[in-house]
């Protein structure tokens, strides 16, 4: 299963300027917030979480919330993605990968999920 999401960087910048940490806390854990260097990183994380939920086929909502999807960085700085054990079991997840990129005024992310 594959999900993709695109977000305009200005939208993320405006939300952070207007609501600050409260906005970031809406979709990121404290550990994830510590990885955010600027609004561009935040936009990439938002896109990754959105497209992960799309790859699952449920979207962000009752079945899968932003905090059920956890982003981290590898020692080389590449993004990594994991799900809560509840979602792993429910969707029979065997492996996941994520890619985040920025171009112009956009952040784009793709998530690939392998299931049983």
Active site residues: 54, 102
Calculate the alpha carbon distances from 4 to 23, 25, 107 in Å: 22, 22, 11
To which H or E segment does residue 85 belong?
Answer: helix 85-91
Tokens 């392998």 correspond to what residue?
A: 114
């Amino acid at each position: 299963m594959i999900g993709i999401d695109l977000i305009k960087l200005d939208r993320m910048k405006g939300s952070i300027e207007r609501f600050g940490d409260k906005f970031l806390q809406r979709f990121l854990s404290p550990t994830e917030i510590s990885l955010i260097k600027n609004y561009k990183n935040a936009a990439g994380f938002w896109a990754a979480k959105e497209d992960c939920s799309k790859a699952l086929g449920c979207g962000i909502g009752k079945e899968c919330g932003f905090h059920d999807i956890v982003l981290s960085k590898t020692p080389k700085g590449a993004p990594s993605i994991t799900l809560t054990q509840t979602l792993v079991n429910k969707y029979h997840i065997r492996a996941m990968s994520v890619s985040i990129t920025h171009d112009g005024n956009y952040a784009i992310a793709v998530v690939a999920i392998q299931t049983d």
